Amino acid sequence: MDALIVVFLTGLICMFIAMAKKPVYVLITAVVGLMLAIGLLLSQWFNPPLFQLNYEGLEFTKIGILFSSLALLFTFLIIIGGYSYFKKEVEHTGEYISLLLFSSVGAVCMIAFTDLFMFFLGLEILSIPIYVMVGSSKKDLLSAEASLKYFFTGAFSTGILLFGIAWVYGATGSFQLKEIEVAISEGSASGPLLSIGILMIMSASLFKVSAAPFHFWSPDVYQGSPNAVTGYMASVIKLVGMFAFLKLFTVTFGDMYSLWSGALYGLIVLTMFIGNLSAIGQTKFKRLMAYSSIAHAGYALIAIMSQEPGSDWNLWNYMFSYGFSILTLITISIVLDDKEDEFSSYKGIGRKNPFIGFMLVLSLFSLAALPPMAGFFGKFMVFSSAFNDYPMLVIFAIINSGIGVYYYLTFVIAALSKPEDDSLVPVLKPSILQYIVLVICAIALLTAGFFVV
């Protein structure tokens, strides 16, 4: 709770500090605020929080603390890694950063919610700033288009979510997760109203994590938005969406497992295949990332499918590795800052800039689940937890990993091979901040897998 307040206040302060037209101050404020917030969150792991309210709309479980600090950490990395973008238009720096901070407030709400109020509000607080951020490079036609698409599909899915919530409310008579759970387990609420409601909520959640067939927005939006925002969507929003999904469905709707698991099974398979198949032959970097993120949503949802205990941990690991991989890639694309975002502009980058090349290999192979990168361990844990109940699903996922490696590899080859004309390949000069981000990501990707004790 206190972390929430700190982040919110930081956002507010940022807005005002921005009036000084000194982006650095904004950055420092945001960094300090986020670090404080993360520290406060982590301290809750051991101690009770400083503020305690009567209202119990938010509850920080241990896994919740982990997820929310990870979300804040991702935001932190996005802010410092994307600083070069944010400071471009000095008068907007404060707004950009505070919008991201507000959004991360929503993220924390959406992780720690205990009733559907907070879930819904958190979702909206998470999304609305991002609708704006997607369109934040105003001169860019594609950015506007992306923003429009994201907004309309997002609002539409909000409608669906609310419709589902209403039906669930109608069936159970409550918005409290605990009470809903009790109502379901007592059997007093079973029936079409509840079932359809749950399926509707599932549709909206699938929309947030961009799973088929609710994924269509993501390639367009990822491509159109500024790089930093794409990174935020791919890392934070996906992380939060996954966790909310997990929380709602494995705990609250856990007794309706037989209802949603069958549907989710099919959609996971569909998601993985659509994501991976569409990614083949892409020539735009961020679009590729989007499709790969769709596929990864499919893999991560397997963690939710599995009924083994500890699926939240598996999910955390998975999203951890995935987030860091994506952040690495996004940071590199921010460094490269290529408007066209074509593969061809990445040609030879890795060869000319060994560190960038190393990071590219690391992150792409982590996405492709090549050990020893963290991505492998995430995938391994998720898959092995589901193998007992859904061997076929895991086999599908494995097949998809095989398809997936193909397009990651095309990109690695493009980035690492020697270009025909060496002079055309730019020597990249990442800022210190970007170096920091990349190093953090490298450490996380290389070591994380081994320390899941």
Partner 1 sequence: MNLETFAIIMGGLTIGSALMVIISKNPVKSVLFLVLTFFFISGNYILMNAQFIAAVNIIVYAGAIMVLFLFVLMLLNLSKENEPKNSVFVKFAALVAGGILFTVLIAALKDGLVIAAATVDQSDSIGLVENLGQILFTKYVLPFEISSVLFIAAMVGAVLLGKREKQLID
Partner 2 sequence: MELLLAPLFVALLLAVVPKQFVRLAGIIGTLVILGITIGHVVTFSPNNVVSVFDPNATTKFGLTFKMGYDGIGLFMVILTNALIPVILLSNFNRSIAHEKSFNAMVLFMQFAMTGLFLAMDGIVFYVFWEMTLIPIFLILLWFGAPERKVILTKFFVYTFVGSLGMLLSLIALSRLTDDFSYESLLAIKLVPKSAFWIMSGFFLAFAIKIPVFPFHTWQPDTYTVAPVAGTMLLSALMLNMALFGMVKWMIPIAPEALNQMKFLIISLGIIGVVYAGVIAIKQQDIKRIFAYASISHVGLITAGIMLFNTEALSAVFLQIANHSLVAIGLFLAAGILENRLNTRDLCQMGGIAKVAPKFAFWFAVTAFASMAVPFTSGFIGEFLLLKGLFSYHWIVGILAGSTLVFGAIYTLRAYQLSMYGAPKTSGFEDLKWNELVAFVLLSAVIVLLGIFPQIVLDFVGPSLDKIVTTIQTSKIQIK
Partner 3 sequence: MSVDQLILAILALPLLGAFFNGVFGKNLPNVLVGSIATGVMFLSFALAVIVFGSQSEEKIVHLFSLITTKDFSLNARIQVDALSMWMTLIVTGIGALIHLFSMGYMKKDAGYYKFFTYLNLFIFAMLILILGSNYFMLFFGWEGVGICSYLLIGFHYSDVQKGMLNGIAARKAFIMNRIGDLGLLIGLFLILDQFGTLEYSELSAAMLIEANQPTVWVLFTITMCLFIGATGKSAQIPLFTWLPDAMAGPTPVSALIHAATMVTAGIFLVVRSNFFFELAPMTQEIMLYIGLVTSLVAAFIALRQNDIKKVLAYSTVSQLGLMFVALGMGAYTAVIFHVTTHAFFKALLFLGSGSVIHAMSDEQDIRKMGGLKKFIPITHLTFLIGTLAIAGFPFLSGFYSKDEILAHAIMHSSIIYTFLMLSVALTAVYMFRLYFLVFHGNFRGSEETKNHLHESPWNMTIPLLVLAVLSIFGGILNLPGIVFHSCKQWLSHYLNYNTDGLNLVETEHLSNYDSILLMSAAVALTLIILLVSFFYYVKKGKLAKEDSSWKGWEIASGNKLYFDEIYNFLFVKPIEWLAKSSYQFMEIMVLNKSISGLVGAISRSGLIVRKWQSGIIANYLFWMVLGIIGLVVYYLLKF
What is the contact surface with partner 3 in residues (CB under 8 A)? 148-149, 152-153, 156-157, 160, 192, 195-196, 199-200, 202-203, 206-207, 212-214, 216-217, 219-220, 259, 262-263, 266, 273-274, 277-281, 403, 406
By beta-carbon proximity to partner 1, the closer residue of 117 and 387 is 117
- What is the C-alpha to C-alpha distance for residues 151 and 160, in angstroms, rounded to an integer? 14
Q: Using alpha carbons, select from 42, 76, 34 the residue that is nearest to residue 62.
A: 42
Note whether 49 binds partner 2 by CB under 8 A: no
The nearest distance, CB 260 to partner 2, in angstroms, is 24
Q: Which stretch binds partner 1 (CB under 8 A): 37-45, 105-113, 270-278, 282-290?
A: 105-113
Return the SS3 of 108.
helix
Note whether 313 binds partner 2 by CB under 8 A: yes
State the binding partner of 156 from partner 1, partner 2, partner 3, none, CB within 5 to 8 A by kind.
partner 3
Note whether 136 binds partner 2 by CB under 8 A: no
By beta-carbon proximity to partner 1, the closer residue of 33 and 135 is 135
By beta-carbon proximity to partner 3, the closer residue of 260 and 377 is 260
Q: Which two tokens stand for residue 168?
A: 């669930």
The nearest distance, CB 347 to partner 2, in angstroms, is 11
352 φ, ψ to 5°? -80, -30
- Return the bridge partners of 58, or none: 113
Q: Which two tokens stand for residue 324?
A: 């860091």
The nearest distance, CB 282 to partner 3, in angstroms, is 8
DSSP string, 304-370: HH--STTHHHHHHHHHHHHHHHHHHHHHHHHHHT-SS-BGGGGTTHHHHSHHHHHHHHHHHHHHTT-
Considering only residues 367 to 406 of the shown chain, the ones binding partner 2 according to CB under 8 A are 368, 370-372, 376-377, 380-381, 383-384, 387-388, 391, 394-395, 398-399, 401-402, 405-406
Name the DSSP class of 251. Answer: I
- What is the C-alpha to C-alpha distance for residues 241 and 111, in angstroms, rounded to an integer? 8
Considering only residues 40 to 59 of the shown chain, the ones binding partner 1 according to CB under 8 A are 53, 55, 57-58
| Alpha helix (H) residue ranges in 173-256 | 177-186, 192-208, 217-224, 227-232, 238-246
Q: Which stretch binds partner 1 (CB under 8 A): 74-82, 187-195, 306-314, 406-414?
A: 187-195
Residues contacting 25, CB < 8 A, separation 6+: 17
The nearest distance, CB 278 to partner 3, in angstroms, is 5
Note whether 37 binds partner 1 by CB under 8 A: no
Q: Using alpha carbons, select from 242, 125, 247, 124 the residue that is nearest to residue 180.
A: 247
Whether residue 230 contacts residue 100, with contact meaning beta carbons closer than 8 Å, is answered with no
Q: Which stretch binds partner 1 (CB under 8 A): 126-134, 289-297, 312-320, 402-410?
A: 126-134
Considering only residues 184 to 213 of the shown chain, the ones binding partner 2 according to CB under 8 A are none
- What is the C-alpha to C-alpha distance for residues 385 and 314, in angstroms, rounded to an integer? 8
Q: How many CA atoms lie within 13 A of 138 on its CB side?
A: 5
The number of beta carbons lying within 10 Å of the beta carbon of residue 37 is 29
Using CB under 8 A, list all residues that contact partner 1. Answer: 8, 11-12, 15, 53, 55, 57-58, 92, 95-96, 98-99, 102-103, 105-106, 109, 117-118, 121-122, 124-125, 128-129, 131-133, 135-136, 138-139, 170-174, 183, 188-196
Using CB under 8 A, list all residues that contact partner 2. Answer: 310, 313, 351, 354, 361, 365, 368, 370-372, 376-377, 380-381, 383-384, 387-388, 391, 394-395, 398-399, 401-402, 405-406, 409-410, 413, 416-418, 450-453
